[in-house]
Amino acid sequence: MKKKFLWLVILGALALSACGPSPGGAPPSQPGATVEQSPGTAPETSENPTTGTEKGASEVQKISAEQAYQMMRETEGYILLDVRTKEEFDQKHIEGAVLIPDTEIRSSAEAKLPDKDAVILVYCRTGRRSALAAGELAAMGYANIYDFGGIVDWPYDTVSVQ
């Protein structure tokens, strides 16, 4: 709990510092304004520091297992994406899930998930890999990514490969 709070504080501080006025100059939106970079700071890149995705990439929506279940009941044409290993998937997965291990997202997503506008619900075992995979999908241009964490928190039915 303390680590999670510390990360939230750090992310909040980063967000606030990124939104403040440029030091020693007029806001960049004014004609003739310049932005000075403080010594020792990294130059601005095209990557979003909080998600690791490129600027302009889709946002990943973090939802609960209950919200994912509700979306599955109400949304047509959604894709349920399991990003665990084949062995984990075979032991237990949510019925109807498509398996693309997180390590294969970059190489396999476009072939297995051709519709970049489809609603994609992503999960793994505990939520770490699903967050990373969802970020990768967003960076690749997928527009409707919902990360609902791990199957360990899934209170509904699952199936196994026998």
Helix (H), strand (E) at residue 130: helix 128-139
Given its phi and psi angles, is residue 37 left (phi above 0), alpha (psi -120 to 50 degrees) or beta?
A: beta
- What does the alpha-carbon distance between residue 105 and residue 132 come to, in Å, rounded to a whole number? 10
Q: In the annotation, is 19 catalytic?
A: no
Strand ranges across the sheet with 119-124 = 60-62, 144-150, 119-124, 79-82, 98-99
Helix (H), strand (E) at residue 87: helix 86-91
The alpha carbons of the chain give a radius of gyration, in whole angstroms, of 19
Beta bridge partners of 69: none
Out of 124, 137, 139, 151, which one is annotated catalytic?
A: 124
Catalytic machinery residues: 124
